[in-house]
Amino acid sequence: LGAGAAMMLVGGINWVWVGTAAGAAVGMVYVALFVIGYNKSRVIYWLDPWADAADKGYQLSQSLITIGSGGLWGLGLGKSRQKFLFLPEEHNDYIFPIVCEELGYIGAMAVLILFAMLIIRGYWIAMHARDRFGALLAAGITTHLALQTFLNIAVVTNFLPATGISLPFFSYGGTALLMQLFEVGLILSVSRQNDNNFLYQKSVS
């Protein structure tokens, strides 16, 4: 949804549609939070996971413990303790807390900086694409990766309620990794066309 919205904004869209979609999204959030009881309880324990840390708040509380136990430099690569039956889904949706525990604050910040560089470069490629198709393609894929990264890290750090979003290039799953590498390959293809177009213009001039 977010990638599609980014592509429509790049390609040009009537802002009336944007307002209508935003209103519909607010209505859907209201229904999800106040009509469907399961999602309401999820939000309640997101606001205070320690209220039931042994049951419904267990996942979030263990995630925060895992992140905090890494300290500044971490316990060392492969030396996580929380991944041994303490933190559920440690190989999938909650792999970032394991990164924090093993590599510490410094390693976690390095991972975030690498993601930021990838996302910024993707948008730069989209802005300098030689045609609209390349711009839309690069912007859509970059937004998809950016939203997935943000949602995963926001969930495991208790900034947002649980959504079940994996972390690109880190979470377990061969098919997901294959598709993410395929998407980055498409962005690199757009970048190569930009470079070739620049070299052609330079040679002509």
Residues of the chain falling short of pLDDT 70: 1-15, 17-18, 32-40, 195-205
- Which residues, 6 or more positions from 141, have their beta carbon under 8 angstroms from its beta carbon? 3, 122, 183, 184, 186, 187
| pLDDT on residue 27 | 81
| pLDDT on residue 119 | 96
| pLDDT on residue 71 | 92
Q: Are 51 and 45 in contact (CB under 8 A)?
A: yes
Q: 65 by DSSP, 3-state: which?
A: helix
Place of tokens 């939070």: 33
| pLDDT on residue 111 | 97
| pLDDT on residue 197 | 58
| pLDDT on residue 55 | 85
pTM for the complete prediction?
0.82
| pLDDT on residue 1 | 57
| pLDDT on residue 23 | 82
| pLDDT on residue 73 | 93
| pLDDT on residue 186 | 95
| pLDDT on residue 162 | 82
Place of tokens 């495991």: 156
Model confidence over 80-124: pLDDT tens digits?
Answer: 999 998 999 999 999 999 999 999 999 999 999 999 999 999 999
